[in-house]
Amino acid sequence: MAQEIPEDILLANVGQKILLEKDGKVLMCRGKIDFKEMDKRWDFPGGRLHTGEQPIEGLTRELKEELGVEFEIGRPLFACITEDTPSGVPRYYVVFKAVLKDPNAEFVIAEDELSEIRWVGRDEVAGLNTWEDWRTFLQGYFDEYHVA
């Protein structure tokens, strides 16, 4: 379950996400924000860094809050800066490769943070309602790693 974060400890301009792959598909989620069409876009699991947190520490915390499972966080795969945020303030993102610590673990979705999750395959990326940076990254990922 998500915790209420005072704005003074939230580094709102730094976010970290994961790419989790299973059977040739990657995990995507939809958040529960209420800002224009952003809540309808598919995103990678993850979140924003708190003041004083190291990136892996913050990402581990966010994933446990959102999905209720633990991950091994690997190397960074992609980084970008976007201005397509609710506040219009640019946000820096890093997407890390990740694997489940327990491959049989079942997700427990934090209903106050996520509305849904799904596995997305190569053939779905072009039409996916997501940010253009994520679409470009996913297309390159599927091509580079020859994922089904």
Q: Helices in the chain by DSSP H: which ranges?
A: 55-67, 132-144
Query: Is 60 exceeded by the pLDDT of residue 37?
Result: no
* Single-letter residue type at 22: K
Name which of 74, 20, 87 is nearest 48 in CA terms: 87
Query: Is 60 exceeded by the pLDDT of residue 7?
Result: no
Query: Is 50 exceeded by the pLDDT of residue 2?
Result: no
The class (CATH top level) of 7-144 is alpha beta
Mean pLDDT for the stretch of residues 3-10: 50
* Single-letter residue type at 145: Y
Pairing outcome for strands 25-31 and 10-22: antiparallel
State percent of the chain over pLDDT 70: 85
For the chain, the structural domain boundaries read 7-144
